[in-house]
Chains A and B, each alone.
Chain A
Amino acid sequence: MARVDLDLSDLERWHADLQFVGVIAPLAAEAVVAKGSLNIKTEARALAPHGPHTPHYRDSITYDVETSALGEIVGEIGPERGRRQAALGHLIEYGSVNNAPWPHHEPALDHEEPRFYAAAEALAARCVESPRAPLPKVPTNG
């Protein structure tokens, strides 16, 4: 009687990797969003005015990353309510009838966009090629 022996160990290992990816992918994605948010915050602070009239404003810019129960990851960057001069944010960013805008969040977002997409692509490749590589550690707020 014919007999066929199959070595499925690689397939089983791949199956285990895919299950592992399902667990760590949300954490890795959160790290990508956190890193992007951190970069935007850092550049927005650098671009923000900090003259004698707005000495505290740029320190009011923070970021916060949250993952909802449905898995949606949201990064929020901007002046944090309660911090000194945070209320000036919209007036500085968008200007007013008689005051020219001082864009600092929008350009920072523009500059981060290609880096964010590249990081998201790298994350997708990492999940397939080396799912057990250690995750980057990025704080989810700051």
Chain B
Amino acid sequence: MADYGQLQDHAEAVLALLYAQDGVTTYPAETGGPTTVPVGATPPYRSVHFAADRPAGRVLAGNSTRLRIRIYVHHVGANDDAARILCDLTAAVLLDVRVDIPGRTKERIKFEQSRQPDPTEPVAQTTTTITDIYVLDTWPGVDGS
């Protein structure tokens, strides 16, 4: 049976990198629970979502074993500065990293795009969110170099 890759394996590998960073709160929490941020959570923190796709390419024609994971990281700070610093901290642990997923050949995690800062409320601003999107491509095989 072809190795189509497990989304959960990919998510856990990426989350492990984020959880390992001291001093930054990441949701979903390492102890489990929903992806949603608890009511009353105080910034700074980041909330992470994943989306999987299986685009063609890099594998034999007709084979859908390539997995592309988009990693959406929402950085929430008390202001623009805090959100930007959080973005930099995330980049420091994700960019160009080859995660450990047994049996899969991995590209390094790449940055795809950043959304403009989004203040929660334009007049009495209380938080600023910056969403960065990273991409991880994997396909069956031994660890790539």
Contacts and interface: CB of A to CB of B under 8 A. Distances in A.
Interface of A: 90, 94-98, 100-101, 103, 106-107, 110-111, 113-114
Contact of B133 (A94, A110, A113, A114): A94
Interface residues of B, number: 21
Given A94-B131, A111-B55, A111-B56, A101 B72 contact: yes
A90 B47 CA distance: 17
B51 A90 contact: no
23 contacts: A94-B72, A94-B115, A94-B131, A94-B133, A95-B74, A95-B131, A96-B74, A96-B129, A96-B131, A97-B129, A98-B37, A98-B47, A101-B72, A103-B51, A103-B70, A106-B70, A106-B112, A107-B55, A110-B55, A110-B68, A111-B55, A111-B56, A114-B56
Contacts of B115: 90, 94
User: At the interface, is chain B mostly helix, strand, loop or mixed?
Assistant: strand
Given A103-B51, A107-B55, 11 more contacts: A94-B131, A95-B49, A96-B74, A98-B35, A98-B36, A101-B49, A103-B53, A106-B112, A107-B53, A110-B68, A114-B57
A101 B51 CA distance: 7
A111 to B, nearest CB: 6
A111 B74 CA distance: 25
Interface in B69-124: 70, 72, 74, 76, 112, 115
B19 to A, nearest CB: 18
A87 B42 CA distance: 28
A91 to B, nearest CB: 10
Interface string B10-36: 000000000000000001000000011
A97 B37 contact: yes
Contacts of A97: 27, 36-37, 47, 74, 76, 129
B53 to A, nearest CB: 5
